Structure 1
Amino acid sequence: MKKVLPLLLLLTTQLSILAQDYKFGKVSKEELEEKFYPLDSTADAAYLFKKRRTYYDYITNNGFQLVTEFHERIKVYNKEGFNMATKEVVYYKPESGESESVSSIKGYTFNLNGNKIEKEKLSTKSIFTENISKFRSVKKISMPKVKEGSIIELRYKVYSPYVQSISDLKLQYHIPVKKLDYSVEIPEYYIFKKNTIGYYPVKQIKTSKNGKIGDTNYKIEVTSFVEENIPALKNDEPFVSSVKNYRSGLKFELTQTNFISIGGDFKSYSSSWEQVAKQIYKSSSFGGELSKSSYYKDDLNKILAESKTEVDKLLNIYNFVKQRVKWNEYYGIYSDKGVRKAFKDRVGNVADINLMLTSMLRTSGLNADPVLVSTRANGVPFFPTIDGFNYVISAVELNSGGIVLLDATEPYSTPNILPRRALNWNGRRITKDGNSSWVKLATTKHATEDNNIMVNISDDLMISGLYRTKFSNLSALTYRKNHNHLTEEAVVTGLEQKTNVEIEDIKILNDKNIYKIPTRTIKFNSDGLIESINGKLYIEPLLFLTERRNPFKLEERKFPVDFTTPWKVKNVVSIKIPEGYKVEAVPESFAIGLPDNLGVFKYQIQENAGKISTISSMQFNTAIVSPQYYESLKKFYGDLVKKQTEKIVLIKI
């Protein structure tokens, strides 16, 4: 036994050393044979190794440049993991001025053929460059011969002249990380504030080393992150605005530069949201575009001639811009084409359209300002940075009181009902003098859906009836956006699949008129909504509107539940009791509320005059439910599902 223990210790040590060998271009047979990730069998893929090194390289006569080296090894377990075979590297490349660059791209795909490891090299033909705006480009890398069980390995470098901006460190991903090895090396001349985000702790290790410029020595601060077995934080939880807000990471904010020791100067970059807003406003592609007005002068004069009140002006200008310029689905806080060209070509990005809108509103005499926004997908900007914003809308402060928010990129949007993508925390409003303040983006109006169903039951237990739905506020916008482009046949097919009924007729009113409530009426029948067991009929009181699953599965949730907007769904169902039957049992009425008036569920059911009437109402009075209420919310939905799935029982007379 004494001889066995040292042997096991030696073997364990050798395996540990072998497991840490991540030499580029060399993988093990054991890695290729692995069928699933040992610590998360649900993972479609995993980073076996994720390395990043960011450092400053001094170039004579040019100064420092920022270099970031990447090396990643990915194991693909199944077909759902194939998306990891395509890599997109976005980098800053303006039409004029200094650009970042991506180079030294090398990659391999490894597969196991019997006992033989096959290695396929990434071809330059599989690397593409695309311009995604006048400021940014992307390198698209497509790895070859990827299949289930493959290992992908990729290495590349990003060079940047913008030494004051270190890109965010992402320490947690949507797939697990077996081994992470990150380091950031910063010369003493640059002082950065480090802001952590997310909940998963990754320890920072701080060391230092020496650098040299000519005969001058300087200190380099090295911050390292070496971690194993980082779990995935997937994007499959319901009601999350942007999961990247909650994944572990680090943001760098430059606070000062000090080159006095080598004959330079000292500068403070302590930024605030006020400074960020002023910097954006000064740009010719932002504030400069707001000042242009000659291109729309004639059209605006016609609009003003037909507008008697400030509300008339607002609505007429807003509707004009929506009809005049189509959104090309590109985000951005800066004008892409320029407002004149966008107006002429009738197409533009978010900034083209909403800066144009703001300018027209201002010229008409309204108190209008642009509002900087971070979209839901972009995340909440926790710290002052220009990159925190990627969208812009317009705000009008009325003489009669109140602020109206407008987004002319969305055809189905109405004043103060912004599209879902823009409803993310607060926006930054910038006035004409460059001052700025926060504006709440979320509306206080509930997104509502009212459903009304009336049915009869035939002798052969076929249900037939009418199903009417009304949508308002954000629900109306969402309905139009999801359905107005579909054919009637496609709408019918989708509804039949969702409700398990056969639709005989459908009528939709006000689907095009955005200032009226859209209403959908359906005539239907179904033989799948009643269970007949031993002469008794069992029916769910809400029929196909029944909520059968609790969407909240986690035992604990550390990030908030984001409903986007306050909302309410009301269901009214009337079931005529068929001839020859009577009620044996109906569910009891029920009501439950969440703490602090966050939400309420009410359920009333009664029999009267040969009909069973059910009224179910669920309402949330806030867009965001903080994690402290998660346990209560999960129980709330559990009770709701339990109540709605209780059945009416009918027996023969």
Structure 2
Amino acid sequence: MMIKKIIFGLILISQVSFHAQNYEFGKVSKDELQEEFYPLDSTADAAYLYKKRKTYFNYGNNTGFEVINEVYLRVKLYTKEGFDFATFKLPYVRPESGKSERISSIKAVTYNLNEKGKIVEDKVSKKYIFDETTSKFRHVKRITFPNLKEGSVIELKYTMTSPYTEIVDDLQFQYGIPVKKLAIEVETPEWLIFAKKNKGYYLITPVETVRNGSITIRNKVRTITREAGPGGTTVGSTYDNNEIDMAFNSSTYKAENIPALKDNEPYVGSAYAYRGGVKYELVGTKFPNSIPKSFSKSWDDVTKQIYKSDAFGKELEKTNYYKKDIDALIANSNVNLEKLAMIFQYVKSNIKWNGYTSKYTNDGVRKAYLDKTGNSAEINLMLTSMLRYAGLNANPVLVSSKGNGVPLFPTIKGFDYVVSGIKLADNSMVLLDATEPYSMPNQLPARALNWNGRLVTKTGESTWVNLNSSKHAAEENMIMVKISDELEVTGFTRTIFDNFDAQRFRIRYNHIKDEDLIERFEENNNLEVDDFKLVNQGNLAKPVVRNVKFTSEDLLETIGNKLYIEPSLFLTKRSNPFKLEERKYPVDFTSAFKETNKVTIQIPNGYAIETVPEQLAIALPDNLGFFKYQVINGGNKIKLVSLLQVNSAMVPPQYYQALKEFYSKLVKKETEKIVLVKS
């Protein structure tokens, strides 16, 4: 009898689960609205209760093949922070001429419970839907939802129609919030051959099926009718409908209870690159009565295909628009390094980056030069062309930007950015990116520092090049303080930012007024600034130097007749940035780095040193980095010397536990205090 009850209970649970997992637009339940937190992750601010997408190809005699994406989703908002997931930005392409993508059949509703426990619907009207232009061809339809509350459920349904049949948008399984149920189906015609490549750390094995179907092609046929007598010939036309058999290949991805892959820890880079999904890429065609074509088999095939594009290789060949200016610029120089530096600075100073990343030009290099603004390809292909014109061995370097992930297999989608690479006489390589005014040779901006790039020669041949600088980002702090008899701390600190740290400092702070920088420095370090000076902000050849005189009453603690002070003062790292039990994606420091701290503390009269922290030297495995820390008792002075060095810009996830423990020991040591006792 007990076994029968258990079996019946399991059947009942499975039936309830089955019915609960059927979703239909407009059929939001009270249970969904009353749910206060996501059962499998109580920290989630929101969750996709259901996310469905169907992608298929439709053939019309006037339009040819089009890609149709039908999307339906239901989202539960648990907290106010979850409201961020109630704004949707749907990108689409709309050129000035030719075919455009279209977003249609938008249905969107906010659901809430009123005081009587009844479901109230707020439909999204046109005033909540906005069209935004992001570039000449690219647009975004932004959809916002009204009357959002903690506990709201929202639904969105729309159709995207695209004439660009070579593109199937990437499938996304995982997000920063959990997914209760996911259903994606992609159906492609046998004439178009797509490769499917997994991305991220969450995989779904698709169910593959083949459906036999057909399309009808309507052909116009000219007809001539002859009759007796003058003018007896009539020319007309009829339409002949030909039905062609065609197979459709379908991949269905289904999953439930997909965990979130959050980016709430530091040093993430791009969480999107590590979240589970599938990239689709057209790798060949097999049209009837035609020779099959194959694309992108190897990295050389990929780069040759990109190079042949009118928006890439041909743009490098254009020179007339800049000849006079470059001739005048380098007229008095015969040294390649001088010419390199002058042309690089010329482009940085005269052509402003418009914020759009691409490996292809949009309006072309000539127009970008005249307008003094362009996307990343227009600026850096222009730079490469100018360097070639000046006699340097310059070639474009294809890059996958941070948000695009790491290109692990040959694919055109693997690259979305381009920089310039110059091979010098000694075979060394110099990398340049003129989109960033504060960048230097071999010091690319953070968005381009993503493992390796692919250097492409004039013939389309290619090789890998390391994008990271051989020099560590460097920050060196020197602090000298004196503790007065009144226990006030006065001091001077000098910080030197070099290499990538200098670029990062300039990007973050060069546009900010000194008085605002002083205010930030005071708030961040809990002190008062008496004098503040920055040196070399605009001189990119030198490190940035920050000199500060300060006063503080909060850097030491008095308990009885003893004083307690942290040797690193306001530089102390007081918390471990790595808190997850497990991290499945790399720790991205952007650059290898070293941080040196040298502190001298003069103790007040009438006090003696009771204890100082013991020295520490620890290392990460496989030469990934180390930390050295030593406090020296010098009588009336105490000196600290510490060095934190990480030798890799990217720390793979298998080292996460070691890195977490490393930082735990570092924090524990830095928060140990010097103890001074009153004599």
Under a length normalisation based on structure 1, what TM-score does the superposition of the two structures give? 0.95
- Equivalent residue runs for 1:347-362 within 5 Å: 347-362=373-388
- Mapped pair 1:252 → 2:280: yes
The residue that corresponds to 1:82 in the other structure is: 83
User: Is this contact kept in 1: 2:315–2:381, CA < 8 A?
Assistant: yes
Instruction: Name the CA distance, whole Å, in 2 between partners of 1:273 and 1:583.
Output: 64
Instruction: Name the CA distance, whole Å, in 1 between partners of 2:369 and 2:57.
Output: 44
- Secondary structure at the aligned position of 2:321 is classed as helix
Deviates more, 1:241-250 or 1:183-192: 183-192
Paired residues, what number? 651
User: Is this contact kept in 2: 1:109–1:120, CA < 8 A?
Assistant: yes
User: Is this contact kept in 1: 2:274–2:405, CA < 8 A?
Assistant: no
Instruction: Name the CA distance, whole Å, in 2 between partners of 1:6 and 1:510.
Output: 76
Q: List structure 1 runs of 4+ shifted beyond 6 angstroms.
A: 1-7
**Distance apart, 1:264 and its partner CA:** 4.7
The residue that corresponds to 1:185 in the other structure is: 187
Instruction: Name the CA distance, whole Å, in 2 between partners of 1:529 and 1:61.
Output: 75
RMSD: 2.1
The residue that corresponds to 2:162 in the other structure is: 160
Report the AA paired with residue 242 of structure 1. Answer: S
**Distance apart, 1:629 and its partner CA:** 1.9
Q: State which of 334, 353, 366 in structure 2 corresponds to 1:327.
A: 353
The residue that corresponds to 1:124 in the other structure is: 126
Task: Sort the Cα spacing of 1:120 and 1:348 in 2 relative to 1 into closer, same or farther, 3 A.
Answer: same
Instruction: Name the CA distance, whole Å, in 2 between partners of 1:147 and 1:100.
Output: 33
The residue that corresponds to 2:472 in the other structure is: 446
**Distance apart, 1:157 and its partner CA:** 1.2
Instruction: Name the CA distance, whole Å, in 1 between partners of 2:175 and 2:522.
Output: 37
Instruction: Name the CA distance, whole Å, in 2 between partners of 1:493 and 1:247.
Output: 39
- Equivalent residue runs for 1:392-431 within 5 Å: 392-431=418-457
Instruction: Name the CA distance, whole Å, in 2 between partners of 1:379 and 1:79.
Output: 30
Instruction: Name the CA distance, whole Å, in 2 between partners of 1:619 and 1:9.
Output: 56
The residue that corresponds to 2:23 in the other structure is: 22
Instruction: Name the CA distance, whole Å, in 2 between partners of 1:4 and 1:569.
Output: 66
Task: Sort the Cα spacing of 1:307 and 1:54 in 2 relative to 1 into closer, same or farther, 3 A.
Answer: same
The residue that corresponds to 2:237 in the other structure is: none
The residue that corresponds to 1:37 in the other structure is: 38
What are the Cα deviations for residues 569-593 of structure 1, in whole angstroms up to 9, with x where unaligned?
A: 0000000011000011111111111
Which structure's CA Rg is the greater one?
2
Q: State which of 214, 217, 228 in structure 2 corresponds to 1:212.
A: 214
Deviates more, 1:410-419 or 1:1-10: 1-10
User: Is this contact kept in 1: 2:109–2:145, CA < 8 A?
Assistant: yes
- Mapped pair 1:229 → 2:257: yes
User: Is this contact kept in 2: 1:307–1:316, CA < 8 A?
Assistant: no
Instruction: Name the CA distance, whole Å, in 2 between partners of 1:92 and 1:384.
Output: 25
Report the AA paired with residue 560 of structure 1. Answer: P
- Secondary structure at the aligned position of 1:638 is classed as helix
The residue that corresponds to 1:291 in the other structure is: 317
What are the Cα deviations for residues 384-416 of structure 1, in whole angstroms up to 9, with x where unaligned?
A: 333332222111111243111111111111111
User: Is this contact kept in 2: 1:444–1:565, CA < 8 A?
Assistant: no
- Mapped pair 1:386 → 2:412: yes
The residue that corresponds to 1:138 in the other structure is: 140
Instruction: Name the CA distance, whole Å, in 2 between partners of 1:390 and 1:191.
Output: 22
What are the Cα deviations for residues 152-193 of structure 1, in whole angstroms up to 9, with x where unaligned?
A: 111111222333332211111111001111112233333333
Q: State which of 521, 540, 543 in structure 2 corresponds to 1:517.
A: 543
- Secondary structure at the aligned position of 1:68 is classed as strand
Task: Sort the Cα spacing of 1:405 and 1:27 in 2 relative to 1 into closer, same or farther, 3 A.
Answer: same
Instruction: Name the CA distance, whole Å, in 1 between partners of 2:533 and 2:334.
Output: 36
- Equivalent residue runs for 1:473-488 within 5 Å: 473-488=499-514
% identical equivalent positions: 54
Q: State which of 492, 513, 529 in structure 2 corresponds to 1:503.
A: 529
Task: Sort the Cα spacing of 1:568 and 1:585 in 2 relative to 1 into closer, same or farther, 3 A.
Answer: same
Task: Sort the Cα spacing of 1:521 and 1:566 in 2 relative to 1 into closer, same or farther, 3 A.
Answer: same
Report the AA paired with residue 178 of structure 1. Answer: K
Report the AA paired with residue 251 of structure 1. Answer: K
Report the AA paired with residue 198 of structure 2. Answer: T
Structure 2 residue runs without a partner (length 5+): 217-242
Task: Sort the Cα spacing of 1:594 and 1:10 in 2 relative to 1 into closer, same or farther, 3 A.
Answer: closer
Instruction: Name the CA distance, whole Å, in 2 between partners of 1:187 and 1:378.
Output: 27
Structure 1 residue runs without a partner (length 5+): none
Task: Sort the Cα spacing of 1:559 and 1:331 in 2 relative to 1 into closer, same or farther, 3 A.
Answer: same
Deviates more, 1:126-135 or 1:497-506: 126-135
The residue that corresponds to 1:110 in the other structure is: 111
- Secondary structure at the aligned position of 1:145 is classed as coil
**Distance apart, 1:60 and its partner CA:** 4.1
Task: Sort the Cα spacing of 1:384 and 1:95 in 2 relative to 1 into closer, same or farther, 3 A.
Answer: farther
Under a length normalisation based on structure 2, what TM-score does the superposition of the two structures give? 0.92
